[in-house]
A and B are shown apart, each in its own frame.
Chain A
C-alpha cells in the first residue's frame, strides 16, 4: 500500500514537514507526495533522502509533480 500526501497549494516548508511526518509515523512502505512547485519537489526529494528513504520516481504533469518515495526496511 502507498500513502498519499497531497501538499499542493502549500508553501514551503509545509510540504517537507508533512512528508517527514508521514515517513516517521506512517506504516506504508511507499509514499506518494503531490506538490505543485519545483521548489517543493526538490525540497521533498531531499527530505526523503535525508530520512533514509529513496526517491524512486518523480513525474511531472500539468498539475505539478508526483514524487514516489520508498521507505527503507
Chain B
C-alpha cells in the first residue's frame, strides 16, 4: 500500500493476504489484569479496522524485575490471554526483556481478502460517518493518574477500552465500506484528517451526535487534559473550522488521544441506516452517525454544535 494505514497488508495469493500489526505501551490503569486486556484490545483493533480477521499473536513485555513483583506480569499476561481467547486468536509465543519501566503489548497476524480490505482512504461525496465507541479516554486516564476519578468511572472506562472492535468489524463485513480507521492516539480529528488527503472532500461533524463519556467533559473543564490533546490540536487545528458555539472543552474532546478507541466508518448515505442498525444489533450500543462527507477541494473538517 502506498499510504500510511492501520496495519501492513501482504498479498500471498489471489484470495489471501497477510495482515500484520504491533502495539505496546505503558500502563494506563492500575489493575494489571485490566491493563493486559486493554493492551490486547488496542493492538487487535488495527486488524479489525482493516476488515481483517486476527489469527495469531505474540506477547511483548518489558518488566522491571528488580522493583516489581513478578505476579504483576503474570496478571497482565492473563488479562491479555483472556482477551485473545475472546477474540479467537491463538497466542503462539512472545518475548520479554528487563526494563526500568513496565510495558506490554502484542504483535498480531491475521488474514484478509486482498481485494476486500478496508483502507483509511476512500471517502466519497455524500458519505455518512459512523463512530462506534465514545470519546474521552485520554482525559479520563489523566484524571485517573491524578487520583481524581472514582472507582465507578475507572470501571466504566476500563470496560470501554477493553472491549474489542471485533463485533463492529464483523457487523460491517457484508456492507460496502468506503473507508475505515480506528481512533487512537491522534484523537477523532487527527484520525479523521488522515482519511482526507486526496479525497477531494471535506467533512461536517455534528458535535451533539458524537458519543462522549460525560465525565470527560467534567474533567476537561477542571484542566485534566493530556499533553497529547494539545499536541494533536497544534498539529491539526489549521484544517478544522469550529462553530463559535463550541467552547475549549468540547474542542479538546475531539483532539483527545484515545486508547483502544472505536472504529470510524465511512459509508454511502443509502447504506448508513442499515449499517447503524447492524452495529447496534451487534452490541456496539454507543454507535452513532456523527457527520457527513461532501465534495470540497479544501479538505477541511467543519464542526457544528
Q: Do A and B come from one complex?
A: yes
Residues of chain B within 8 A (CB-CB) of A37 are: 227
B89 at the interface (CB under 8 A from A): no
B286 to chain A, nearest CB (A): 25
> Do A12 and B221 contact each other (CB < 8 Å), given the known contacts A17-B148, A39-B227?
no
Q: Is B221 touching A50 in the complex (CB atoms < 8 A)?
A: yes
By beta carbon, the residue of chain B nearest A44 is B223
B residues near A51, Cβ cutoff 8 Å: 222
Chain A, interface residues (CB within 8 Å), range: 20 to 34
The answer on a CB contact under 8 Å between A12 and B147 is no
Answer yes or no: B112 CB below 8 A from chain A CBs: no
Measured between beta carbons, the chain A residues less than 8 angstroms from B220 are: 46
Kindly state the separation between the CA atoms of A18 and B227 in the bound complex, as whole angstroms: 17
The reply to whether A16 and B221 contact each other, CB–CB distance below 8 Å, is no
Would B221 and A13 count as touching, CB distance under 8 A? no
Out of B143, B148, B223, B226, which one reaches A46, CB within 8 Å? B223
Taken together as a complex, chains A and B put the C-alpha atoms of A71 and B222 apart, in Å, by 16
Q: Which of A13, A14, A45 contacts B143 (CB 8 A)?
A: A13
Contact digits for B134-148, partner A, Cβ 8 Å, 1 yes 0 no: 000000001101111
Chain A nearest CB from B252 CB (Å) reads 9
Any chain A CB within 8 A of the CB of B230?
yes
The answer to whether A38 has its CB under 8 Å from any CB of chain B is yes
**In chain B, what residue has the closest Cβ to A46?**
B223
What is the CB-to-nearest-CB distance from B234 to chain A, in angstroms, rounded to a whole number?
9
The answer for the CA separation of A44 and B222 in the assembled complex, in Å, is: 8
Contact of B226 (CB < 8 Å), options: A12, A14, A47 = A12
Say yes or no for B183: interface residue by CB 8 A criterion.
Answer: no
Tell whether, in the assembled complex, residue B224 and residue A43 are in contact, meaning their CB atoms are under 8 Å apart: yes
Contact assessment for A42 and B146 in the assembled complex, using a CB-CB cutoff below 8 Å: no
Asked whether A39 lies within 8 Å of B146 as measured between CB atoms, the reply is no
A61 to B117, CA, bound (A): 52
List residues of chain A with CB within 8 A of the CB of B145.
13
At the interface, yes or no: A27 with Cβ under 8 Å from chain B? no
Tell whether, in the assembled complex, residue A11 and residue B227 are in contact, meaning their CB atoms are under 8 Å apart.
Answer: yes
B222 touches A12 (CB 8 A): no
Residues of B within 8 A of A (CB): 142-143, 145-148, 220-227, 230, 248
Q: Top 10 nearest A-B pairs by Cβ distance?
A: A47-B223, A13-B146, A43-B223, A46-B223, A39-B230, A16-B223, A39-B227, A17-B146, A50-B222, A13-B142
